[in-house]
Amino acid sequence: MKRIHLLQWVLIGLVLMISSCTTTIPMEVLRPADIVIDANIQTIALVDRSRPSSGFLNVLGGLVSGERIGQAREGRENAMVGVSNVLSRTPRFTVVQTGIAMEGSKGGRRMAPPLVWSEVERICESVNADALAVIESYDLSYSTSSSEQERKKKDKDGNEYVEKFWQANANMDIKIGWRVYDPSKRIIIDEFVSNAGQNYSSEGANQQQSFDRLPNPVRSSGRISLGIGEAYAERIAPVYIFVNRTIYNTGKKPFKEDMKQAAQLVRVGNWDAAKSKWNDIIGAADVKTSAKACVNMAIAYEHEGDFAQAQKYVEKALIDYGFKSAQGYANQLNIRMREEDRANQQMQNKRN
C-alpha cells in the first residue's frame, strides 16, 4: 500500500514538473468552413421555418405539455441566435437577421419540401441578401425515468448501513435541419441535419425530489440548440477561433533565466523581444535548450503568419538537434498550414 501511494506521488510530481516547464499561449486562427460557397454570395439572410404546422409530435405519454412547447420554442430561437452570432463574426459574409418565422413540416421531425424559388427571391430582395440560410426542421426528444437505489455507507462510528435514495435520469436529443438557398442560380447549396444531445441524472430522498433536481429542460434545450446553431455556422463560413500552443520556458544554465524571461515576454504580447532572446540561445546553449528555443521560434513565426520560417525552425529542432518532442508541434503546424490554405481560398470569394 505504501509503495502504491509513493508511486502516485511520483506521478503527480512528474505531471507538475512537466507542466511547469511550459507556458500555454492562445493563438487566434482562421478556421476554414466545411463547404465552399460561391463568390456571388456576400450577404446571408436567416429565416426560421421550423415551426411545425400541426404542433410538435415528440410527446410524452400522448400529451404535449406547455413545458415541452416552451423547450422547442426556446430551442429554435437559440439555434437562430447561435448561427447569427457566429456568422456575424466571420470575415467572409454579412449576416441579416430577418426575424421571419414560418411553418414547416407537420410534426417538425422532417424537413418540408424546399421553399419555392419565388419566395426565396422575394425574401432576399426585401433584405438585400444574396442567399437564405434556413432552419427547416426542429425535432426535440426528451425522456425521463427514475428508480429506487441502495448503497452502503458508514456512519461516524464506522458502522455500515444501507442508504436508500431515488435516482432520476433524463435524455435530451435535438435534431435541426438546415438548407442554404442561392436564388441567383436557383440551387440549394447545402442541406444538412445537425444532431446533439445530453444525458442528465440527479438524486433525491424521494421520486419527486430526484426529478425536481434535474436541470431545467427549457434552459437545457436552449443551451444545446445554441451550440448546434454555432456549429452549423462554422460549417458554412470561415471563422476565427483560438488554438493553444505550448512555449518552453525552461533551459539549462546559463540560459535558464533567458528562457523564462522570453516566455514571460510572450505572455504580455512582446513576441519580437522573445524572438531576440531565443535567437541568441539557439546554437549557444546545450542541445536540448537550443531545440526548445527552435520550437519556440517556430511558434513565434506561426503567430506572424510566416509558415515557411516556422517550418524551418521546427525541422531544425527535429533534425539538427534530434528533439523528438518537437514532432507534436510539427503535426500541429502541418494541419494549420493546410487549413490556412483552405481558409485563404474561401476568403478569395470575399468581394472588397
Planar angle of CA 217, 107, 57, nearest 5 degrees: 50
Average confidence (pLDDT) over 295-303: 98
Q: Strand 187-204's sheet: what is its strand order?
A: 94-103, 43-51, 131-154, 160-182, 187-204
Average confidence (pLDDT) over 283-293: 97
Q: Please determine, for residue 181, whether its predicted confidence score (pLDDT) is greater than 70.
A: yes
**Which are the contacts of 330, defined by CB distance < 8 A and separation ≥ 6?**
314, 315, 318
Q: What is the DSSP string of 212-246?
A: HTSPPHHHHHHHHHHHHHHHHHHHHS-EEEEEEEE
pLDDT-based confidence at residue 61 (cuts at 50, 70, 90): very low
Q: What is the pLDDT of residue 51?
A: 81
Helices (H), 88-187: 117-127
Q: What is the pLDDT of residue 69?
A: 52
β-sheet bridge partners, residue 195: 175
Q: Please determine, for residue 15, whether its predicted confidence score (pLDDT) is greater than 80.
A: no
pLDDT-based confidence at residue 352 (cuts at 50, 70, 90): low
Q: Please determine, for residue 197, whether its predicted confidence score (pLDDT) is greater than 60.
A: yes
Average confidence (pLDDT) over 189-216: 95
Query: Burial code of 38-66, b = ≥16 C-beta within 10 A, e = fewer?
Result: eeebeebbbbbbbbbeeebebeeeeeeee
Average confidence (pLDDT) over 61-88: 72
Element (DSSP H or E) covering residue 175:
strand 160-182
Q: Please determine, for residue 49, whether its predicted confidence score (pLDDT) is greater than 60.
A: yes
Q: Which region among 87-96, 100-109, 260-269 has the lowest average model confidence (pLDDT)?
A: 100-109
Q: Please determine, for residue 350, whether its predicted confidence score (pLDDT) is greater than 70.
A: no
Q: What is the pLDDT of residue 11?
A: 45
Q: What is the pLDDT of residue 70?
A: 57
Structural domains in the chain, sorted by start = 43-141+174-199+213-239 (3.40.50), 246-347 (1.25.40)
Q: Please determine, for residue 43, whether its predicted confidence score (pLDDT) is greater than 50.
A: yes
Element (DSSP H or E) covering residue 330:
helix 327-347
How far does the chain reach from its first CA to its final CA, in angstroms? 69
Average confidence (pLDDT) over 150-166: 92
Share of the chain above pLDDT 70, in %: 87
pLDDT-based confidence at residue 291 (cuts at 50, 70, 90): very high
Average pLDDT score over the chain: 88
Task: Give the whole-angstrom CA distance, residue 147 versus residue 129.
Answer: 53
Question: In this predicted model, which residue has the larger pLDDT, 324 or 58?
Answer: 324
